[in-house]
Chain A
């Protein structure tokens, strides 16, 4: 199976519907429609990634990547990976074609554009899940792992993004660029980090909707019931 198919197969439909503000099950004709758009979106992906692994030391709000000589400042992040000895940084993207197609549809068929945008978000999540799993599979000696954490979460500033990009030459190696405001282009791109844990952690992959730990109390995507 190609990587593109694996990514498509891994998509969580519930995520797509959540991005599309569906509060209840949508009827069959719409489900068929969403599936068709998802399939089309799947043909537009150009997946690319970069993985960095390094030993870390954690001191208060400082996370130091030892060999890479890089220091990240964040209380939330330090707390999230507390006890960890190694850190994996992953940059992943689905390329530019999705974005152009969304713009295309916005000009003639905004409904399809909106659905495609949601499908693209679900696809990049699926890709991240695959990459996260590959790290875990390659390191069976590690007892547990943290969940994913990204620049911009909590007090880990978005400017961390630039630190990582410059240090690891992420633009050249993945094609992801940073805008002036440190946002990633293409938009369907993610940088995430996971660390090892000295204790067993639940073997789940991906976003566990730990919205309760997020400071964005008003986020429209905040999962209820946390």
Chain B
């Protein structure tokens, strides 16, 4: 069985196809896959050379045969590619009499488009593209699927899921790294190994980018991160293209020397990538003969969750903080943000938890009026678009969990499964399918048992059932559940005992939502903090808490010193070393960096002028005692903003100062909004408008600056982002009944998109007023494309908008 051979044996893969074809005189710009049909003899002859050199696996000439890239129908090209490989194997066996098994790997290269949110290709489209390739390849008779040269782990995930869904043949996935140890999209070795291994690939590894010399340190790292079999296919060194000839700088002998070292690390499957030919593969064959089965140290089994660029290990290290604040229960402002899809607020909450020390974010959007399955992937994508923190998907909606696990970029943690029959039967298959981690709750159809032993029994059942389904034990974490001391006092200590039992007998890490313990009692902080320390002492590995609570974070910092996690108390000294003030303020000061600008204090006007954002809220608080909110806006904020604007215009201050003043005003507004929300019908809003960077343009920094400034003047901005099609802008105008639209374009080539947008919306809604801006525009050009106003910068936009809404 091939699966067994991948798991326990050795396979030699072939070398380059593309660069070989170039050497063989392939026409410039030609798609190599067309040669499968037009020149089968050429393709077969290359395959045959590799077989004679000693390879076990031929890779089909289908690197670029994606329906999203290949100009023609991919089916004939893929079918011919597999047929060519088969023909070469037949010829080889006839010629040599060698009856050893030879395999055909269907080659799946990257699609060549960036997936959203960095690009525009959807995960579903990528998945469909790979699925179609895999189905055709499997039908044509390939023996395994080789997904290779991936730089985006998200695309690799789509490819692996699609391949596995297409048939029951082995799937191998290799990625291309840069010398710094990350792929071009930012994925590190540990995250790649963590994600791919649990997606269920049969082998994973590295290919392309550079030669074996540069790859060696990355392989050394990879070996320690996974127990999965590894495939390594380097280039023949670094390429140089002169006069249309690409030359690689590592000769077969040098290639062999370093590949021997790579093999000795325990790499079972080896082959070549760009620039290699049959001589390189013959060299690999010699290595395998000399070293038939290299030893490999097993990698430690760890509970790890990952985003595309960061892996967090839980257990066997300092306790991890999982930020709990993205959960609407009891949070009025978050509920409102979820209902109105106020992404800015949600992102701010995410970031502030990261900056306060959360290593993982819990994401729960459970509100009766919200379609969780639809919204969860959107929010995950938003958060992952800006930060690499891993996410714990927290929902009781099965569809939501499935959608989130699928679209999450990385290896997610699912919160949660319980000992209930239905839960086990429905949640665990999702965990398995998407290679996720799962949080198991020690409750079942009879509720939460009091005794520690009974909770342990449920944990044991969850682990047993998960393992039976093929979920590795390392992917399970148990929550022994905190009960409230006010109602079930005697059960509190049972939680602590259960943590000890789970740790010692089951050998899986534990997690706890700590603050439940103090419901209904005064001075909750003290109880939470004490319980947290008790649980950590009992071996708690992760806590779902509010990282904004100083006493919890400080307790954790101190625990890490006393328990020996914080070696030489380095982190502790760094956080607290220079501070002698009162306890409540110290951690906050230690973790938040100072802003630029001077530290003088003064009235709100002065504070805005100097951009002292830390002082705005407090000053507004003071002013509210004597002034109504709107008077503060009209009499202080707007004049101060105008002053800042003129200073920017005459060059007294530069752009970051303008923005910092704007941020200061935003801080003031947050406080004012709170004051106004107490008065029915009152609002700061001076009008609503749409902003967008036009279709095909990806430059949004100018638009973002305009947004900040407009919000400062009290305008509500519907920000549609960048690369926005005209129809989407029209829809937003209709949906929000908006008459003013601001459009931004940086490139000359995208001003036509601007023109199309204006034409479309003016046709449907002639009353719409357009303000346009961007480096390549000018007043005459703006007029030519029928825009109503041209604004040279954010400040001028604000002046125009103020006039329009007067």
- Listed in ascending order, the chain A residues whose CB lies under 8 Å from chain B are 4, 17, 20-24, 26, 29-30, 32-34, 46-48, 50-55, 66-70, 93, 95-97, 99-100, 102-104, 106-111, 113-115, 117, 152, 158, 166-168, 171-175, 177, 179-183, 185-187, 216-221
- Binding-face segment, B263-271, B525-533, B696-704: B696-704
Known: A95-B184, A107-B348, A110-B704. A100 touches B387 (CB 8 A): yes
Q: Can you list 13 A-B pairs with a CB-CB distance of less than 8 A?
A: A26-B657, A32-B596, A67-B245, A69-B28, A70-B28, A93-B184, A95-B186, A100-B388, A104-B351, A113-B704, A181-B697, A185-B118, A217-B778
In this complex, the member of A22, A23, A67, A172 whose beta carbon has the largest number of chain B beta carbons within 10 angstroms is: A172
Is the pair A177, B119 in contact by a Cβ cutoff of 8 Å? yes
**Among B110, B244, B347, which residue has the most Cβ atoms of chain A within 10 A?**
B244
Residues on B with C-beta less than 8 A from A166 are 29
Q: Which residues of B contact A32 (CB under 8 A)?
A: 596
Q: Does B683 touch A at the CB level, under 8 Å?
A: no
Please, how many angstroms separate the alpha-carbon atoms of A109 and B611 in the complex? 12
Contacts of A177 in B (CB 8 A): 112-114, 119
Is the pair A152, B747 in contact by a Cβ cutoff of 8 Å? yes
Q: Which residues of B270-296 have CB atoms within 8 Å of chain A's CB atoms?
A: none
In the complex, A192→B660 CA distance in Å? 35
A70 to B29, CA, bound (A): 9
Tell whether B656 is near chain A: CB-to-CB under 8 Å.
yes
Contact A67 B119 (CB under 8 A): no
Q: Known contacts A46-B180, A106-B704, A186-B118; is A180 also within 8 Å of B651 by CB?
A: no
For B181, give the chain A residue with the smallest CB separation: A46
Residue of A whose beta carbon sits closest to that of B777? A218
Number of B interface residues, CB 8 Å?
74
Q: In the assembly, what is the distance between CA of A52 and CA of B355, in Å?
A: 43
Q: In the assembly, what is the distance between CA of A183 and CA of B748, in Å?
A: 11
The 5 closest A-B pairs by CB, nearest first: A181-B696, A23-B651, A175-B184, A33-B596, A67-B244
CB distance from A17 to the nearest CB of B (A): 7
Query: 1/0 per position for B647-669, CB-CB distance to A under 8 A?
Result: 01001101111011011000000
Is B194 at the interface (CB under 8 A from chain A)?
no
A29 pairs with B699, CB closer than 8 A: no
- Compute how far the CA of A20 lies from the CA of B658 in the bound complex, rounded to whole angstroms: 10
Taking the closest CB of chain B, its distance from the CB of A44, in whole angstroms, is 9
Report chain B residues within 8 Å CB of A114: 655-656, 659, 701, 705
Cross-chain contact A181 with B112 (CB below 8 angstroms): no
1/0 per residue B344-355: CB within 8 Å of A?
100110011001
Asked whether B242 lies within 8 Å of A53 as measured between CB atoms, the reply is yes
**Contacting pair A152 B28 (CB below 8 A):** no
- For B695, the chain A residues whose CB sits under 8 A away are 181
B61 within 8 A of A: no
CA gap between A186 and B151 in the complex, in Å:
13
**Whole-angstrom distance from the CB of A108 to the nearest CB of chain B?**
5
Q: A221 and B245: CB pair below 8 A? A: no
Chain B residues whose CB sits within 8 angstroms of the CB of A106 once the complex forms: 704
What are the residues of chain B within 8 A of A187 when measuring CB–CB? 698-699
Check if B119 sits within 8 Å of A22, measured CB to CB. Answer: no
Verify B596–A104 contact, CB threshold 8 A.
Answer: no
Known contacts A110-B662, A179-B698, A219-B775; 10 additional CB pairs below 8 A are: A33-B656, A48-B178, A53-B242, A68-B28, A96-B185, A100-B387, A107-B344, A175-B151, A181-B697, A185-B118
Q: In the complex, which of the residues B245, B348, B654, B662 contacts A26, with contact meaning CB atoms closer than 8 Å? A: B654
A172 touches B698 (CB 8 A): no
Q: State the main secondary structure of chain A at its contact with B.
A: mixed
**B387-402, CB under 8 A of A: which get 1 and which 0?**
1100000000000000
A20-B654, A46-B184, A107-B386 in contact; A183/B663 too (CB < 8 A)? no
Among residues of A, the one whose C-beta sits closest to the C-beta of B596 is A33
B755 CB, nearest partner CB in chain A, Å: 14
Q: Which of A96, A180, A185 has the most CB of B within 10 A?
A: A96
- Residue picked from A67, A107, A177, most chain B C-beta under 10 Å: A107
Contact between chains at B657 and A30 (CB < 8 Å): yes
In the complex where A187-B698, A218-B778 touch, is A181 in contact with B178 (Cβ < 8 A)? no
Q: B240 on the interface (CB 8 Å rule)?
A: yes
B698:A185 contact, CB within 8 angstroms: yes
Q: In the bound complex, how far is the Cα of B114 from the Cα of A158, in angstroms? A: 19
List, in ascending order, chain A residues with CB within 8 A of B659's CB: 110-111, 114
Question: Given the complex of chains A and B, what is the CA–CA distance between A174 and B149 in angstroms?
Answer: 12
A52–B28 alpha-carbon span in the complex (Å): 14
| Shortest Cβ gap from B73 to chain A (Å) | 20
What is the chain A residue whose CB lies nearest that of B660?
A111
The reply to whether A100 and B386 contact each other, CB–CB distance below 8 Å, is yes
Name the residue on B nearest A67 (C-beta). B244
Give CA–CA (A93, B149) in the complex, Å: 18
Min Cβ gap B653→A in Å is 8
Compute how far the CA of A100 lies from the CA of B117 in the bound complex, rounded to whole angstroms: 10
Decide: B597 and A29 in contact? CB cutoff 8 A: yes
Complex: how many Å from CA A152 to CA B185? 26
Query: Which of chain A's residues have a CB closer than 8 A to the CB of B344?
Result: 107
Asked if B120 lies at the interface with its beta carbon under 8 angstroms from chain A, I say yes
Please determine whether A115 and B656 come into contact, CB atoms closer than 8 angstroms: yes
* CA gap between A196 and B182 in the complex, in Å: 35
User: Which residue of the partner chain B has the closest CB to A221?
Assistant: B775
Which A residues touch B385, using CB under 8 A?
Answer: 100, 103
Q: Most A CB atoms within 10 A — which of B611, B656, B695? A: B656
Which one of A4, A23, A66 lies within 8 Å of B180 (CB-CB)? A4
CB of B114 within 8 A of CB of A185, answer yes
Is B792 a contact partner of A220 (Cβ separation < 8 A)? yes
Q: Report yes or no: B118 in contact with A96, Cβ–Cβ below 8 A.
A: yes
A100 (CB) vs chain B CBs: closest residue: B386
User: With the chains together, A185 CA to B655 CA distance in Å?
Assistant: 25
- Across the interface, A100 reaches (CB within 8 A) one of B186, B348, B778, namely B186
Given contacts A51-B241, A52-B241, A179-B723, contact A30 B596 (CB under 8 A): yes
- The A-contacting residues of B in range 594-636, CB under 8 angstroms, are 595-598, 611
A67 and B114 CA atoms in complex are apart in Å by 30
Q: Which residues of A contact B597 (CB under 8 A)?
A: 29-30
Q: Which residue of B lies closest to A165 (CB)?
A: B112
B165 at the interface (CB under 8 A from A): no
Asked whether, in the complex, the Cβ of B244 is within 8 Å of the Cβ of A54, the reply is yes
> In this assembly, does B515 line the interface, its C-beta being within 8 Å of a C-beta of chain A?
no
A109 to B245, CA, bound (A): 48
A218 vs B748: C-alpha distance when bound (angstroms): 12
Q: A171-B112, A177-B112, A179-B696 are in contact. Are A152 and B748 (CB under 8 A)?
A: yes
> Are A110 and B240 CB-contacts (below 8 A) given A104-B386, A181-B753, A182-B749?
no
Contact A104 B387, beta carbon cutoff 8 Å:
yes
Q: Cβ of B451 < 8 Å from any Cβ of A?
A: no
B186 to A96, Cβ gap below 8 A?
A: yes
Question: Are the C-beta atoms of B118 and A99 separated by less than 8 Å?
Answer: yes
Q: Within the assembled complex, what's the spacing in Å between the Cα atoms of A173 and B240?
A: 11
Q: Tell me, in angstroms, the Cα distance from A55 to B183 when the chains sit together.
A: 33
Q: CB-CB < 8 A to A95: which residues of B?
A: 178, 182, 184-186
A220 to B698, CA, bound (A): 18
B708 A110 Cβ-Cβ under 8 A? yes
CB distance from B268 to the nearest CB of A (A): 27
Point out the residues of chain B lying under 8 angstroms from A20, CB to CB.
Answer: 654-656
Q: Which residues of A contact B118 (CB under 8 A)?
A: 96, 99-100, 185-186
B445 in the interface, Cβ–Cβ < 8 Å?
no
Q: Is the CB of A48 within 8 A of B184?
A: yes
Instruction: Say yes or no for B95: interface residue by CB 8 A criterion.
Output: no
- Collect the chain B residues with CB atoms within 8 Å of residue A167's CB: 28-29
Q: Is the pair B243, A67 in contact by a Cβ cutoff of 8 Å?
A: yes
Q: A203–B795 Cα gap in the complex (Å)? A: 41
Q: How far is the CA of A53 from the CA of B178 in the complex (A)?
A: 23
Distance in Å: Cβ of A53 to nearest Cβ of chain B: 5
Most A Cβ at <10 Å: residue of B110, B183, B596: B596
Residues in B neighbouring A175, C-beta threshold 8 A: 151, 183-185
How far, in angstroms, from A219 to B655 measured CA to CA in the complex? 17
Question: When the two chains form their complex, are residues B747 and A181 in contact, meaning their CB atoms are under 8 A apart?
Answer: yes
Q: How far is the CA of A116 from the CA of B709 in the complex (A)?
A: 19
Task: Check B748–A111 contact: CB distance below 8 A.
Answer: no
